[in-house]
């Protein structure tokens, strides 16, 4: 099994899959192999069905189950070169609306963040629509202060994109890049080098806890809020799609349900 996992890792890397996807695929493939051996299931179709059902019984999300299925399909088709089709449909994804913070709530979180470096990181995530990993990966060369833009390289799906840079943050950004070389990280750790995503997420949770906000917000809620507030400001959904780097406009259109002005203007009969 060790040799198979090594071969899988090599193929994934050659296909230019992200480090996060490689790690996830290897975990689910390894877990599936152990599961099917422990259960003594030799029929491939039945083994996969039972494995996915076991994850469903553990109350795992449809997104997680689909990721496991993708990993197993890749293993059989690309590693084992098994021509037999896996006749399984993906789990239906839930249609939950994203948690969106109001402008006032974003301001409360920023005010509750006493560390200036982390406050700027949170502000950039909201002001530019960045994922937590994208904030961490920012380098000085990604900033185009004169044109008020920020470039994100090899984001999710290995795609590059450009987003807007808030003019309000320019003084803070000029101070933090002073003396730094273009290829240096914008936000480095105390020990030097890149910060971890976990450290930023923990800081966000602490700041959120120090407010009166009751929403189950996460760091990613800042990106949701960026998208929703742009649409509320009248920005065309296609431009929002480009700023977020979404491949499919349907992914961006979920925010139109959050900010539907027609529904918000309806008065309850009570």
Alpha helix positions (H), 138-186: 170-177
Give the span between the Cα atoms of 258 and 225, in whole angstroms: 10
Let me know if 55 is a catalytic residue. Answer: no
Let me know if 264 is a catalytic residue. Answer: no
Let me know if 229 is a catalytic residue. Answer: no
Please calculate the CA angle 113-119-120 and round it to the nearest 5 degrees: 175
Let me know if 255 is a catalytic residue. Answer: yes
Tokens coding 238: 């296609």
Give the span between the Cα atoms of 6 and 89, in whole angstroms: 28
φ/ψ of residue 205, rounded to 5:
-60, -40
Contact criterion met (CB below 8 Å) for 91 and 78: no
Look up tokens 């933090």; give the residue: 176
Let me know if 156 is a catalytic residue. Answer: yes
Task: Say which of 108, 119, 139, 223 is annotated catalytic.
Answer: 223
Residue 194: closest CA among 116, 110, 121:
121
Task: Say which of 28, 32, 51, 255 is annotated catalytic.
Answer: 255
Let me know if 161 is a catalytic residue. Answer: no
| Helix pair angle (62-74, 44-57), 10° resolution | 160
Task: Say which of 44, 73, 117, 156 is annotated catalytic.
Answer: 156
Instruction: Reduce the DSSP state of residue 265 to 3 states and report it.
Output: coil
Q: Which long-range contacts (CB under 8 A, 24 or more apart) does 40-43 make?
A: none
Task: Say which of 131, 139, 224, 229 is annotated catalytic.
Answer: 131
Which letter, b or e, does each residue of 86-123 get, where b requires 16 or more Cβ atoms within 10 Å of its Cβ?
A: eeeeebeeeeeebebbeeebbebbbebbeeebbbbbbb
Catalytic residue numbers, as ranges: 131, 156, 220, 223, 246, 255
């Amino acid at each position: 099994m060790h040799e198979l996992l090594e071969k899988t890792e090599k193929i994934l890397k050659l296909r230019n899959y992200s480090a996060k996807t490689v790690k996830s695929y290897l975990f689910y493939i390894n877990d599936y192999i152990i599961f099917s051996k422990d259960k003594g299931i030799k029929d491939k179709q039945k083994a996969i069905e039972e494995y996915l059902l076991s994850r469903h019984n553990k109350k795992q999300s449809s997104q997680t189950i689909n990721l496991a299925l993708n990993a197993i399909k890749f293993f059989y088709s690309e590693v084992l070169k098994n021509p037999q089709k896996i006749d399984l449909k993906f789990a239906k994804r839930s249609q939950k609306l994203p948690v969106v913070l109001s402008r006032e709530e974003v301001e409360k979180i920023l005010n509750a963040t006493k560390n200036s470096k982390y406050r700027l990181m949170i502000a950039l995530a909201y002001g530019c629509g960045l994922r937590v990993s994208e904030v961490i990966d920012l380098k000085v060369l990604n900033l185009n202060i004169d044109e008020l833009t920020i470039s994100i390289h090899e984001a999710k799906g290995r795609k590059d994109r450009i987003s807007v840079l808030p003019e309000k943050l320019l003084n803070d950004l000029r101070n933090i890049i002073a003396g730094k070389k273009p290829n240096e990280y914008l936000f480095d750790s105390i020990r030097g080098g890149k910060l971890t995503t976990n450290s930023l997420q923990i800081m966000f949770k602490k700041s959120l806890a120090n407010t009166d906000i009751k929403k189950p917000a996460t760091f990613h809620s800042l990106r949701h809020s960026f998208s929703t507030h742009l649409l509320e400001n009248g920005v065309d959904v296609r431009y929002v799609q480009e700023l977020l780097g979404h491949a499919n406009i349907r992914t961006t259109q979920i925010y139109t349900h959050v900010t539907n002005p027609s529904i918000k203007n309806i008065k309850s009969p009570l």
